[in-house]
Structure 1
Amino acid sequence: MTHDDFSRKNLTALPNLLTYLRMISIPIILVVLAPPTTGYRMNVAFVLYVMASITDYLDGILARRYDMVTSVGKLLDPLADKLLTCGVLIMLIELDKVHGWVVFLIIGREFTITGLRSIAASQGLILDASRMGKNKMISQTVAILFLLLHFEPLNRAFFLIGTVFLWVSIALGYWSAGAYFVDFYRKARQLHASRRSAPTGP
């Protein structure tokens, strides 16, 4: 990052402001979900999660459409997504909505891909987001929404639908993770080959 990345204009760009709002919403949602939890508080968390998800959708559109993509946004946007998702899923363990080992599968995948991206970046390689990865995020969001929503007559149905979407997100997540590793291996081999074939100095 350069000094310009931290200029007031970049830090206060509208997409970044939406990301800040999403990050602020995280501790609020966690407090709302802290036991003892009522159906009313579950629905409050549902509404807050919907609003946070909307900011995630809008900040990407605004950044691309109005050329307001910043290095700060590239760093904070995925970080906010992961903190929000992982935080809510951890709280859902306490509410018996999801098993701890299932959440471990999700968080473990996120740590692994983040580490892979960091290794790739250190070598000057960029691993582009895949369509499967985006579909994973969508199905994960839908799963969490159903697991949060509380309406006594339909709670069982909400739980089943949320669980199905959660497993779909896990399948897509590990499928896309495999694709990231293949992409990394291919680009790393190309980089290695180009360095070996590059002429050396006298």
Structure 2
Amino acid sequence: MTDEQTVQSSKKPSLLDGWNTPANLVTYSRIVLVVIFLALDIMAGAWGSDNLTLRWVAAILFIIAASTDKIDGWMARTYNQVTEMGKLMDPIADKLLTCGALIVCSAFGELGWWVTVLFLIREIGITVMRFFVMERPGGKVIAAAWPGKLKTVFQCVGLSMLLLPMWQFAPSQNAPTWLVVYYFLTYAVIYVALILCLYSGAIYLYNTFGGRKQAK
């Protein structure tokens, strides 16, 4: 290997390298979808009381946006298009979607603010840490590890269940047993996601300062 090749191989990848790959374009589309989802969710009102149709559409868009997370990741790995931009923007797109949904749900009284605040502290803190790691000499954006990935799955499933206005199918006076069970499971999934959120955040901090592979 020549000196020039050695320098090139050791050169830190640029954040803009491969910014327009198909996988990254899917990620950018997800971010646009997040904006549309949030607008519709807000217009629908708490529990969809202002416009039930918009609430259904918002919930479906949330599910689509959350599901396409796997598409851009699959494309990047399959076609060998994993980029620094993709590793940075993919978790950011996830956080915009989930954190935006959490804030709106709490503002509408559908979810306790303490839950949302804990999620936000972790998500914002780890995102800042990602930039910190990336700017260090020889630093790279670290891909997600299993605790963070599992957290994202539980978070998206729980929020999807919360966004779906299932109360529409229940009598106006008394909530049937199936609806009580449904919302019990909904909040249980969200609380499990919160535990995984804090756990994976602690792992990320430990590995960042310990020099090991970071978690999402």
Same fold (TM over 0.5): yes
Q: Which of 199, 205, 208 is the matching residue for 1:175? A: 199
1:140 equivalenced with 2:155 (yes/no): yes
Amino acid in the other structure paired with 1:99: G
TM-score normalised to structure 2 length: 0.76
**Matching of residues 99-110 of structure 1 within 5 Å:** 99-110=112-123
Whole-angstrom CA distance in 1 between matches of 2:143 and 2:100: 25
Shift of 1:173: 1.1
Q: Mean Cα displacement is larger for which, 71-80 or 89-98? A: 71-80
1:92 equivalenced with 2:105 (yes/no): yes
SS at structure 1 position matched to 2:81: coil
Structure-2 residue corresponding to 1:192: none
Q: Tell me, yes or no, if the aligned pair for 1:149 and 1:158 is still in contact at 8 Å.
A: no
For residues 94 and 159 of structure 1, do their structure 2 counterparts lie closer, same or farther at Cα, with a shift above 3 Å needed?
Answer: farther
Shift of 1:125: 4.3
TM-score normalised to structure 1 length: 0.81
Cα distance per residue 1:90-131 (max 9 Å; x no partner): 111133210122101001001121222333333334555321
Amino acid in the other structure paired with 2:189: F
Q: Tell me, yes or no, if the aligned pair for 1:136 and 1:170 is still in contact at 8 Å.
A: yes
Q: Tell me, yes or no, if the aligned pair for 1:32 and 1:41 is still in contact at 8 Å.
A: yes
Whole-angstrom CA distance in 2 between matches of 1:40 and 1:157: 24
Whole-angstrom CA distance in 1 between matches of 2:132 and 2:86: 20
1:14 equivalenced with 2:22 (yes/no): yes
Amino acid in the other structure paired with 1:148: L
Shift of 1:142: 0.6
For residues 20 and 121 of structure 1, do their structure 2 counterparts lie closer, same or farther at Cα, with a shift above 3 Å needed?
Answer: closer
Whole-angstrom CA distance in 2 between matches of 1:3 and 1:135: 26
Amino acid in the other structure paired with 1:27: V
RMSD: 2.2
For residues 155 and 96 of structure 1, do their structure 2 counterparts lie closer, same or farther at Cα, with a shift above 3 Å needed?
Answer: farther
SS at structure 2 position matched to 1:34: helix
1:30 equivalenced with 2:38 (yes/no): yes
Segments of 5+ residues of structure 1 without an aligned counterpart are 189-202
Amino acid in the other structure paired with 2:155: Q
Structure-2 residue corresponding to 1:63: 76
* Identity value in percent: 32
